[in-house]
């Protein structure tokens, strides 16, 4: 009897608290409600902390992006200054009258072109670099034409002509490398769509799946 009496008393007290909380609100709330409020506060604090960490992470990423862009702009400016300064030297280079002088310049220009190879034109800084290399090659061609016209029997002509063709190929393939890589894929996709290749592949895949299902069921 003592156990059931205690249970009945506890039930009455809990019911009374529930009614009191509903009628009078938080002023008569018990320790159970305070525990619930503490959990809610702790949860809210946790969410606020998470939100603050996300904001800090976003600010850090924004700062990194800003510094990267700033560095890219500086690199572009430095490259432009370098190209502008050296372009003046290349444009001002005179073609010598002597055979030895022309050959010496051709060797120097060849080394400079090899040291400043053409790059993919998709990148902005590469475009600026290519302007300088293009100028070097034009000056190289100018010297080669002069060598051929003034000294047509020079044995060095064959070597420099071969090198000129190599430079032309390098310029074309390096500048348009990405486009050249993409073209075969584009052609393949167009061919696949027009010829129904992809559709046939899908049908073959479905047939293989059906065959596998039939084998499992059997």
Does the pTM exceed 0.75?
no
More confident residue, 122 or 87: 87
Quick: pLDDT tens for 103-126: 999 999 999 999 999 988 778 888
Q: For the chain, what is the largest distance between any 2 Cα atoms, rounded to a whole number of angstroms?
A: 129
Q: Quick check: 65 pLDDT over 70?
A: yes
Q: What is the mean pLDDT of the chain?
A: 75
Give the per-residue pLDDT at 204.
Answer: 62
Q: Quick check: 99 pLDDT over 90?
A: yes
Q: Residues 166-182: what's their mean pLDDT?
A: 77
Give the per-residue pLDDT at 103.
Answer: 96
Quick: pLDDT tens for 3-48: 445 544 544 555 555 545 544 455 444 444 555 677 787 778 778 7
Q: Quick check: 178 pLDDT over 70?
A: no
| Token couple for 63 | 């700062």
Q: Residues 129-141: what's their mean pLDDT?
A: 93
Give the per-residue pLDDT at 13.
Answer: 56
Give the per-residue pLDDT at 203.
Answer: 61
Query: Distance between CA 79 and CA 68 in Å, rounded?
Result: 16
Give the per-residue pLDDT at 4.
Answer: 43
- Sequence-distant (≥ 6) Cβ neighbours of residue 79 within 8 angstroms: 125, 128, 129
Grade residue 59 by pLDDT with cuts at 50, 70 and 90.
confident
Give the per-residue pLDDT at 64.
Answer: 78
3-class SS string, the chain = CHHHHHHHHHHHHHHHHHHHHHHHHHHHCCHHHHHHHHHHHHHHHHHHHHHHHHHHHHHHHHHHHHHHHHHHHHHHHHHHHHHHHHHHHHHHCCCCCCHHHHHHHHHHHHHHHHHCCCCCCCCHHHHHHHHHHHHHHHHHHHHHHHHHHHCCCCCHHHHHHHHHHHHHHHHHHHHCHHHHHHHHHHHHHHHHHHHCHHHHHHHHHHHHHHHHHHHHHC
Question: What is the percentage of the chain residues whose pLDDT exceeds 90?
Answer: 29
């Amino acid at each position: 009897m003592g156990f059931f009496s205690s249970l009945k008393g506890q039930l009455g007290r809990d019911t009374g608290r529930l009614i009191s909380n509903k009628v009078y609100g938080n002023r008569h709330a018990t320790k159970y409600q305070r525990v619930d409020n503490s959990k809610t506060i702790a949860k809210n604090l946790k969410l606020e902390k998470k939100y603050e960490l996300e904001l800090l992470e976003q600010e850090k990423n924004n700062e990194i992006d800003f510094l990267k862009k700033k560095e890219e702009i500086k690199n572009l400016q430095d490259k432009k200054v370098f190209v502008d300064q050296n372009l003046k030297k290349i444009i001002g280079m005179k073609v010598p009258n002597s055979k030895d002088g022309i050959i010496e310049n051709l060797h120097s220009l060849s080394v400079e072109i090899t040291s400043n190879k053409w790059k993919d034109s998709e990148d902005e800084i590469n475009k600026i670099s290519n302007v300088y290399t293009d100028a070097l090659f034009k000056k190289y061609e100018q010297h080669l034409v002069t060598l051929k016209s003034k000294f047509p029997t020079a044995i060095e002509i064959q070597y420099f002509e071969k090198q000129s063709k190599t430079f032309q190929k390098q310029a074309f393939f390096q500048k348009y490398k990405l486009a050249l890589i993409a073209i075969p894929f584009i052609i393949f996709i167009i061919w696949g769509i027009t010829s129904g290749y992809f559709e046939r592949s899908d049908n073959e895949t479905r047939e293989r799946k059906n065959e596998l299902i039939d084998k499992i069921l059997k």
